[in-house]
Amino acid sequence: MRTKLVALAAAATALTMGLSGCGSDSSSNSGSSSKGGTISSQMIFGGPPEFKTRTDGIPGLEKNYGVTFGKYTVTDTGGPVTVNALKRGQVDAVDLFTTDPAIKANDFVILEDPKANFAAQNIVPIVSKDKATAGVKTVLNGIQAKLTDDGLGTLIGQVQNDKKDPADVAKGWLTENGLDTTGTGAKGVTLTVGSANFPENVILAEIYAGALTAQGATVKTKLNIGSREKYYPALKAGSLDLFPEYTGTILQYIDKTATATSSDDVYAALGKALPANLVALDQAEAQDSDAVVVTKETADKYKLKTIADLAKKN
């Protein structure tokens, strides 16, 4: 795991160094940088590849707020490349997760989303139905009941700021919450647990894997797979059995016509949208929503409080 993290850090550094030359013009967001345009049309937006085309990504910002950016630069999924690009002024606005400790540490500003472009993003385990035994459900739902927004922020900070291994952070959280006790609740079940390639998701996968292993399950992990386009087909096909997901984004990925925004409505819609071989277990109180984030300097300069302010004339 440590080897993977070193490799990821090296890749992130290389990508950061090349950001100034890797921006890509968005086909739907080719706003002019000339004076007289909107604030956003003169900005460079940074985010992961999928945000450029995702329903609640760039298309959603344009549809719901009339916001179009002059340029889209591919960074990473809420990670150090995105944070550093914003800090260094290589991009003007970014997609970050609300629990990211870098937001507070750098005095970044989250623009309010009054039209709920970003639906509720409660953490939820998606598991293959044939692996969702009573014991597996008990273990995972027990974890879900303990996850909080503040707790997630602390865990992410330990990985991103303190450079701790996600597996060690997960183990410490399980011990702290009394969920590392050995037992036989999941004995006889074999699962492959996957994660996306950003710290929080890796930590959650390690938490799930550690708790299930303690309860007798045979667990393999496939971590840092990448974006949803890469891992969801594997989950649907059964080569992955368990994945930590976020209710709103997985719902909109499966059903691009979904309109639910509240936690309960999104969760209910997700249960109906999932293929027959997958099931969503309990959603956690904890949410980690996407957010449009700018520096304090940018917010002050343009008097930005909400996403809608980006559509104002400059």
Predicted confidence (pLDDT) per residue in 267-308, tens digit = 999 999 999 999 999 999 999 899 999 999 999 999 999 999
Mean pLDDT of the chain: 90
Q: State how far the Cα of 85 lies from the Cα of 93, in Å rounded to an integer.
A: 9
Contact residues for 281 (Cβ-Cβ < 8 A; gap 6+): 124, 125, 126, 127, 132, 137, 140, 141, 144
Judged against a pLDDT cut of 80, whether residue 28 lies above it is answered with: no
Per-residue pLDDT band at 158 (split at 50, 70, 90): very high
Residue 32 has pLDDT above 70, yes or no: no
Residue 142 in tokens: 């027990």
Quick one: pLDDT band at residue 16, thresholds 50, 70, 90?
Answer: very low
> Higher pLDDT residue, 11 or 232?
232
pLDDT band for 36, please (50, 70, 90 cuts): low
With residues binned 3-state (H G I as helix, E B as strand, rest as coil), the percentages for the chain, rounded to 5, are 45, 15, 40
> Is 32 buried (19+), middle (13-18) or exposed (0-12) by CB count in 10 A?
exposed
At 265 the pLDDT is 97
Of all residues in the chain, what percent carry a pLDDT higher than 70? 89
**pLDDT score, position 79:** 86
Domains annotated for the chain, with CATH where assigned, are 2-117+290-311 (3.40.190.120), 123-280 (3.10.105.10)
Span 251-264, mean pLDDT? 94
Judged by average pLDDT, the poorest of 11-20, 147-156, 191-200, 271-280 is 11-20
The residue with greater pLDDT, 26 or 194, is 194
How far is CA 217 from each of CA 225, 240, 269, 303, rounded to the nearest angstrom? 22, 15, 30, 53
Q: What confidence tens digit (pLDDT) does each residue in 66-95 have?
A: 999 999 999 998 889 999 999 999 999 999
Taking the model in full, what pTM does it have?
Answer: 0.81
Can you give 97-116 as a three-state secondary structure string? ECCCHHHHHCCCEECECCCC
For 297-310, b where at least 16 C-beta lie within 10 A, e where not — what string? ebbeebebeebbbb
More confident call, 123 vs 20: 123
Confidence band, pLDDT 50/70/90 cuts, at residue 184 = very high
What confidence score (pLDDT) does residue 14 get? 44
Residue 50 β-bridge partners: none
Please enumerate in sequence order all residues whose Cβ is within 8 A of that of 294, keeping only pairs 6 or more positions apart, or say none.
Answer: 86, 92, 93, 94, 108, 109, 111, 304
pLDDT score recorded for residue 194: 98
* Helices and strands: H and E segment counts in the chain: 12, 11
Residue 132 has pLDDT above 60, yes or no: yes
